[in-house]
Structure 1
Amino acid sequence: MWLEEMNGRAPSVIINDKEKSTRAAILEVLPSTTHRLCMWHILQKKFEHEWAKLIQKYELQENNWLTKLYGQREQWIPAYLRGAFCAGMSTTQRSESMNKIFKGFGRSSTLVSDFVHQYEKLLNSRYIKEKEKDLKTNNTKPRLKTCYKIEAEAAEIYTRKLFLMFQEEFYSSKKYMSSKHRQDGSKKYYFVMSIEEEKPV
C-alpha cells in the first residue's frame, strides 16, 4: 500500500515496538528502510521493571500511598507522557508556572506580533542558560565536602544544581547517628541521635 501510494519509494525509517512479526515483514518488504525501536515502549517497560524491583527490595507491597501513585503512573511518569506538550512544566508551584514566566511580559494592548517576538527571546534565553549549566556540569567538578564515595559518585551523575542540593542534605545528615533499638519480626527500629545534643530526635 505504502509503495503504491509513494510510487515505489520506501520510507527511510519506520518506528515501532519489538514485535518480531512486524520486524520480519519490514525486512522482507522494505529491506532498505531503517527499523527503529520505539523508545516510548522501551521506557515504559523499563519503568515497570525498576518499579517492581523497588517495591520488592524494600517490601512496600502494602504501602497504600505507593500503590495509589502507581495506579496514576500514566499521569506523572515521563515515559507515559512523551506525546504531551507541557512547555517544560511538571508542577503547579508558582515558581515553576507560566504565570511567573510571563509576568510583566505584556499587557492586554500588546500586539500579537510583539508577544511572539518576546516569547522567542524568552525561549532563546532559557535555552542559552540551560546550555551554560550543561557546559558547567560537563566540564568542571564541584568541590567535595567529605571523603565518602557516595558524594563523589553523585558529583559524577547529577547536574550541578541537583548535586549541590544532595550535598547539603548529605553533609547535614552527618550531624546525626543511628543505633538499632529493637527488631520486631521483619521490622527494625532505630534511634536517631543528634551528635550535638546526644538525645533521640
Structure 2
Amino acid sequence: MLGVNNHGQTIVLACAFLSKETTESFVWMFEELKKAMPGGEPKTIITDQDAAMARAISIAFPTTFHQLCIWHITSKFSVKLPHSTYKEYWREFQKAIWDTDNKDEFDAKRNIVVTKAGLTDHPWLSSMFDLRESWVPAYARQFFTAGMSSSQRAEGSHGFFKQYISRRNSLMDFIIRFERARRCI
C-alpha cells in the first residue's frame, strides 16, 4: 500500500503477501494495516474496480472514501463504446468528466452527450454513471485525495519493484531485494 507524504512524495505504507485476492484476505490485510496506523483510517483509498477489494474496504474502513481510479475507467471508453461513437464523442465525454464544477452540471452534460450519441441504454455507460460518486471529480471534491484521482503512483511503483522481485525468490531474498528497492525510491 502506498501513500503520499507532506512533500507530495510517494511512500510505502505497507506490504503484504496474499495467497488469494479474496474479500477475506483483503479484510485481514486492512485490519493488520490499521494496527500499524497511529492516525486511524485513511481518508481516501484509490483502487481499480476489484470487487473483492471494494467489499473489504467497506468492511475494514467504513469511513474511508473509496475512489475508483479515473484512468482505469476513462481508458475503457475506447474499448466499451462503438469505435465511431467513441471517436466522435470522446472530447465531449472528457469535458463532462473534467470540466464540470458540480454534480448537477456533470449529470446534465453527461446526459446530453449520451443522448446525442444514442447511448442512453448502453449497459457499461449506465453502470459507470451509477458509480459516478466514486470516480467523477465533481462528485469527489469534498474528499481529501492529495491531488490524486488515479492509481498511477501505485502502477508506477509496481513496475519499479518488479525489477527487484521474482516469484522464484525466497522470503529472505524478497526482504533483501525489497529493502534495497525501497531505499532507491
TM-score by length of 1: 0.27
Greater Rg by CA: 1
TM-score by length of 2: 0.29
Whichever structure has more strand as a proportion of its residues is 1
